[in-house]
Amino acid sequence: DAGVIQSPRHEVTEMGQEVTLRCKPISGHNSLFWYRQTMMRGLELLIYFNNNVPIDDSGMPEDRFSAKMPNASFSTLKIQPSEPRDSAVYFCASRQGLGNSPLHFGNGTRLTVT
């Protein structure tokens, strides 16, 4: 079991550039979550998918953020254009089923926007 795989591990970009973060969930997991971690706000839920369908995107901060899940094994989180306040660690997590099964997290992508 390879776990949840995120890429890249680190991303440094200039303000105004497009950023794409990638996630491969654990095979067989049908729910996928994107979180953002900052000192001020802790772990914020941005969006989550069930069976590749977005269920709740109320945590997406602005229209500059978008997420897709074209198939069960891949998801992207895109920021266009990026701003310095987007600097954070972005985590992807997956789980099997709904309700009370625990999330399995990737190791995150540290994004720095200068």
Partner 1 sequence: DQQVKQNSPSLSVQEGRISILNCDYTNSMFDYFLWYKKYPAEGPTFLISISSIKDKNEDGRFTVFLNKSAKHLSLHIVPSQPGDSAVYFCAASGGRDKIIFGKGTRLHILP
Residue 67 one-letter amino acid: A
CA separation for the pair 18, 28 (Å, rounded): 30
Decide the pairing of beta strands 53-56 and 19-24.
unpaired
Q: Which stretch binds partner 1 (CB under 8 A): 15-23, 43-51, 71-79, 80-88?
A: 43-51
55 part of the interface to partner 1, by CB under 8 A = yes
Nearest-angstrom CA–CA distance, 29 and 60:
22
Part in contact with partner 1 (CB under 8 A); list of ranges 12-20, 21-29, 44-52, 64-72: 44-52
The site for partner 1 (CB under 8 A) is made up of: 4, 31, 33, 35, 41-45, 48, 50, 55-56, 91, 93, 98-100, 102-108
